[in-house]
Amino acid sequence: MLTTFYPPYNFGGDGIWVQRLSEALVRLGHHVDVVHSVDAYNLLRPNGSKPAQPVPSDVNVYSLKSSLGGITPLLIQQTGRSLLQRQMLKDMIAEKNYDVIGYHNMSLIGLEAFSWGNAVKLYTAHEYWLICPMHILWRYNREACEKRTCISCQIQGSRPLQLWRYSDYMQRQLAHIDAILSPSQFLIDKYRDGGIKAEYSLIPLFTPTPDNIAPANDTIERPYFLYVGRLEKLKGLQEIIPVFKKYPRADLLIAGEGNYQAELKRIAAGAKNIRFLGLLDYAELQKLYKNTRALILPSICYEIFGSVIPEAFSQRAPVIVNNIGGMPEAVLQCNGGFTYNSPDEIPDLLDRLLDEPGLRQQLGENGYQGYLNRWTESVHLEKYFALIRDIARRKKIETPAIAATAHG
């Protein structure tokens, strides 16, 4: 696996996903190496923050560090090339002769790595980086990007310009990729609209099997709705906090941290029914999912997929999402909740979940069945291995490791 970020040197869901997949493959008896960039993490981490201690694992992890520190990932960002890391990566890929190479966040690793090695090559898209130098199609830090103005957006966002994007370099490197894996059809459509020519495979991400699944406790003192995620402007919490300030019937619990946290607390000031819980681990979140009337995800950007959606579904919690991006796709596929087009619609949805007997239970059960059908580890790996075998047949790659995927 090649990825810019990997726990504990990561900031978001892409690194966690690589870890989940890698550990799942190891449990099935596969040998997995992960290469990530400590230089990139150190360049972008907030001042004074430190990563947690790595958790022991059978995954082999290789950390890229250079004597130039943060200058190295900056040069990679500017050129799209691996530069000082090139020889090490080329030698490693040649020596190990991998059967499958999984590429993830490559922004600070370098696209030229796509061309090295004779393997089944899968690029998993966690964001819009192939068409957006800011990664998230969030224009001028204020709105979802409907009209591309990349140069001015980069300048306003204090990002160095990537002139290589205006050549055919990216498409030439992508020609070495056998398939782009996407967790949502929305992302595939965006990439196609952006001119990315490739074979695409829609394979939903999996969420860990919950420790236990218990019925919701309807006798809790105060009903609550839940938000889980980063506290950033594009996540849209500033649009629903005012709704709950005028909605005394239930609480809003907010789990997460982020750069917009102080502003959100200012907006919520004086509201006794809004609580900020900070960063919680997965076990703590499972308890909250079980008893929430619904998970609320008010993102105002083009989210590709919300990993917290199947997490909530795995505990039979309904989900309410803003009708933008790829997240409505997950909710509508299994009728596990509601979508809305304006914050003005939210109070009616809250009332329904509080007043209509059995509605939460039915939506939660729908979501749970969707989780079983789409977002479990076994469902994901079955599709993942089937894709690998199909590509291997086409490329005439025959190895014991790929043959063993038939038993995964």
- pLDDT computed for residue 213 by the predictor: 56
Domain region containing 22: 13-206+377-407
User: What is the pLDDT at residue 167?
Assistant: 94
Counting beta carbons within 10 angstroms of the beta carbon of residue 64, is it exposed (0 to 12), middle (13 to 18) or buried (19 or more)?
A: buried
Per-residue pLDDT reduced to its tens digit, 35-68: 999 999 999 887 767 787 777 889 999 999 988 9
DSSP for 199-215? -EEE-----PPPS----
Task: Answer whether residue 211 is part of any domain.
Answer: no
Q: In this structure, are 346 and 255 located in the same domain? A: yes
Residues 246 and 362 in one domain: yes
At 26, which helix (H) or strand (E)?
Answer: helix 13-27
Residue 5, in any domain of the structure: no
Residue 217 domain-assigned? no
Asked if 264 and 231 touch (Cβ cutoff 8 Å), the reply is yes
Given this model, what pLDDT does residue 321 score? 98
Say how far residue 349 (Cα) sits from the centre of its chain: 27
> Is residue 219 domain-resident?
no
Whole-angstrom distance, CA of residue 160 vs CA of residue 18: 27
**β-strands 319-322, 295-297: how paired?**
parallel
- How far apart are the C-alpha atoms of 63 and 83, rounded to whole Å? 16
Whether 355 and 366 map to the same domain: the answer is yes
Residue 381 forms part of a structural domain: yes
CATH number, position 109 = 3.40.50.2000
401 and 303 within one domain: no
Q: Is residue 218 part of a domain?
A: no
The reply to whether 184 and 272 lie within a common domain is no
User: In terms of domains, do 362 and 346 share one?
Assistant: yes
Which stretches of the chain drop beneath a pLDDT of 50?
407-408
Q: Domain for residue 338, yes or no?
A: yes
How many domains does the structure of the chain reveal?
A: 2
Query: For residue 251, is it within any domain?
Result: yes
The model's pLDDT over 93-127, given as tens digits with 9 standing for 90+, comes to 999 999 999 999 999 999 999 999 999 999 999 99
Bridge partner list, 34: 61
Q: Which of 288, 227, 229 is nearest to 257 (CA)?
A: 229
pLDDT at residue 400 in the model: 67
Extract the runs of DSSP E, i.e. beta strands, from 38-109: 60-64, 100-103
pLDDT at residue number 408: 42
- Cβ proximity of 25 and 384 under 8 Å: no
